[in-house]
Amino acid sequence: MSVGQNLRDIKRRIRSFQNTRQITKAMEMVAAAKLRRAQERAEAARPYAEKMREVIVSIAASTRGIRHPMLETRPVRKTGYLVITADRGLAGSYNSNLLRTLTKTLRERHQNSDEYVIFAVGRKGRDFLKKRGYPVIDEITGLADSPQFLDIKPIASRAVRFYAEEKVDQLFLVYNEFINPVTQRPVEKQLLPLASFDAEEGAKTLYEYEPSAEEVLGELLPRYAETLIYSALLEAKAGEFGARMAAMGNATDNATELIQQFTLQYNRVRQASITQEINEIVAGANALS
């Protein structure tokens, strides 16, 4: 390869990395803006869930010996998992870490796939699990960057209904917990049966119920479980944008480093070419003298 061809090849690579850096930088900025909105939505959803819990605690405080299937532990014959992943990649290890954690849990906890079912939220998780033959019985993909409760309600209601109808005896949420913009931690949290509510726990307000406290509780508990699923989704979305922002930031830094390396190489090759031309001119002049 001639020096001219070598210089053109290096220059072409530099332009390619410059274009890539422009794209990754733009994607990093977009992810940062979406992350701020996702954090705000996750924080705004918390008071609603906390108020529902306060009312449930109040019922527990005012009703002795309260019983409800969603609060009672029963022998586990079948387990349900509601798994939340992203629809798209380019988010580092956000999806792969979660799915690796899930599959390890399934291998350790169950002897075969007849012992559990999976509700999949997100295209990445759905495709991964279906491709490997895991029992995905319901799915939802294509959620907006700022999902509404109605977007997740169908699959959340079905998962809760599976427990209420004793088709599963436990229901777990599996998602990435948002720690900070650069850290997301795969977690598994038991959704059903709901943890028992302590009658002394923060029951500061007394309510009157119509028609009865038991019937109100029967309506509130499924909605509370669905609200917890929605809150987990919002937190997972914040984690997704944080992971994508970090991944695109790393990609931008790598592109910058490669541009610097190839620019240095280009300058060295060009300098060597100039030095060679000077040497040839001097040699030619010496031959003529």
Domains of the chain from N-terminus onward: 3-29+247-288 (1.10.287.80), 45-244 (3.40.1380.10)
Task: Report d(CA 203, CA 61) in Å as an integer.
Answer: 7
Q: Is the pLDDT of residue 199 over 60?
A: no
Task: Report d(CA 118, CA 288) in Å as an integer.
Answer: 86
CA distances from 135 to 79, 126, 183, 264 (A): 11, 10, 30, 54
Mean pLDDT across 155-179: 93
| Sheet with 79-84: strands ordered across | 136-140, 116-121, 79-84, 170-180, 183-192
pLDDT in tens, 109-151: 999 999 999 999 999 999 999 999 999 999 999 999 999 999 9
Q: H or E stretch including 151?
A: helix 149-164
pLDDT in tens, 141-162: 999 999 999 999 999 999 999 9
